[in-house]
């Protein structure tokens, strides 16, 4: 069967198109015929050997997938069941989604919720799950549409694009911040009320800036995170899920002790029941309205082009490998 595997070589490994036998797949109770697998920044870093992510070689890349059960040694799943698999080390230390078949422990496999197609599930993938987790955590911390505007930073990225759609449909006034001015129409189509440039708001460097945002979704980190913490309203919540501009940022405690600002980390390596809960929300009250606009289908053979586009910041939204093309 066809696969894209990461092999030993270079500093952190190197990816290439490959063929493999079913017997070579990693251990598990459930064999899944992969219909779709999304393309994520982490996958691109892995394939191009840009970061130490893969823990064994060779390894099928791809951190998420959607497909149908081909064979199961676990009574919870039957042949033909539509399922989702992500996290739990996929594409890190267990074969991932970039192969026609995958084999996984049954405890990792999520039944596809009613209301989602396999394509929609993969178009959402880890990115959609992250966005849903961020919305859920933000609302658990008291943010509502009545509290004020929500900033989505790094707005054209996969997680951010889904987040804009989710927030807009829940009645939030979304301000999309991006360095890609030519994508303003796309962001407004997703539901952004306003699109602003990355440098439109000036950082005064003061311990507290003017209070602007009831909530913020941040995939950027770095200096922008420093400014965000100081620009939140009272009881504002920042959901942090990326570090495109760096993992470190300067800050002070005043936003937290004088305004009650909360910095909430969004980690998708959560227990399986939490994953199922969020996927159920993605199939119902959090289901995006513009998913076909956010996600683009690509052929398996286009994977390396997709990786390079991601690493070169030339991608808007999501790319999904469709194994039927």
pLDDT at 243: 86
Give dist(CA 121, CA 92) in Å, integer. Answer: 21
Residue-wise pLDDT tens digits, 101-152: 999 999 999 999 999 999 999 999 999 999 999 999 999 999 999 999 999 9
pTM more than 0.85: yes
Q: List phi, psi (to 5°) of 28.
A: 170, 170
* pLDDT tens digits in sequence order for the chain, 325 residues long: 999 999 999 899 999 999 999 999 999 999 999 999 999 999 999 999 999 999 999 999 999 999 999 999 999 999 999 999 999 999 999 999 999 999 999 999 999 999 999 999 999 999 999 999 999 999 999 999 999 999 999 999 999 999 999 999 999 999 999 999 999 999 999 999 999 998 889 899 999 999 999 999 999 999 999 999 999 999 999 999 988 888 899 999 999 999 999 999 999 889 999 999 999 999 999 999 999 999 999 999 999 999 999 999 899 999 999 999 9
pLDDT at 204: 92
CB pairs under 8 A, 24+ apart, for 141-147?
141/237, 141/262, 141/264, 142/235, 142/237, 143/214, 143/215, 143/236, 143/237, 145/170, 145/171, 145/172, 145/173, 147/214, 147/215, 147/233, 147/235
pLDDT at 271: 94
User: Parallel, antiparallel, or unpaired: how do β-strands 2-7 and 64-72 relate?
Assistant: unpaired
Could you give the 3-state DSSP secondary structure of residue 107? helix
pLDDT at 244: 80
Give dist(CA 168, CA 156) in Å, integer. Answer: 15
How large is the C-alpha radius of gyration of the chain?
20
pLDDT at 128: 96
Structure tokens at 88: 């739990």
Q: 150: which strand partners?
A: 174, 215
pLDDT at 245: 81
Domains of the chain (ranges plus CATH)?
2-112+291-322 (3.90.180.10), 127-265 (3.40.50.720)
């Amino acid at each position: 069967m066809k696969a894209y595997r990461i092999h030993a070589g270079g500093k952190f490994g190197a990816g290439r198109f490959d063929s493999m036998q079913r017997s070579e797949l990693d251990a598990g109770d459930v064999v899944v015929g992969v219909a779709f697998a999304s393309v994520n920044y982490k996958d691109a870093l892995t394939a191009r050997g840009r970061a130490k992510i893969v823990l064994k070689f060779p390894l099928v890349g791809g951190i998420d997938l959607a497909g149908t059960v081909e064979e199961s040694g676990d009574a919870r799943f039957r042949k033909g069941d539509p399922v989702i698999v992500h996290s739990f080390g996929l594409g890190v230390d267990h074969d991932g989604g970039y192969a026609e078949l995958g084999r996984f422990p049954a405890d990792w496999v999520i039944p596809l919720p009613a209301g989602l197609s396999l394509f929609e599930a993969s178009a959402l993938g880890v990115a959609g799950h992250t966005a849903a987790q961020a919305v859920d955590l933000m609302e658990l911390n008291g943010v509502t549409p009545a509290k004020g505007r929500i900033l989505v930073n790094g707005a054209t990225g996969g997680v951010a694009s889904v987040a804009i759609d989710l927030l807009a449909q829940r009645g939030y006034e979304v301000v999309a911040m991006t360095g890609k001015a030519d994508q303003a129409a796309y962001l407004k189509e997703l539901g952004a009320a306003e699109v602003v440039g990355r440098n439109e708001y000036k950082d005064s460097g003061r311990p507290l800036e003017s209070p602007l945002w009831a909530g913020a979704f941040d995939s950027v980190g770095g200096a922008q995170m420093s400014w965000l913490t100081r620009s939140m309203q009272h009881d504002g919540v920042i959901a942090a899920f990326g570090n495109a501009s760096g993992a470190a940022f300067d800050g002070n405690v005043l936003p937290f002790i004088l305004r009650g600002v909360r910095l909430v980390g969004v980690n998708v390596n959560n227990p399986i029941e939490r994953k199922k809960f969020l996927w159920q929300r993605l199939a119902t009250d959090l289901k995006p309205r513009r998913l076909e606009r956010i996600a683009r289908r690509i052929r398996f053979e286009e994977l390396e082009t997709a990786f390079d586009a991601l690493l070169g910041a030339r991608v808007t939204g999501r790319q999904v490998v469709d194994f039927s093309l």
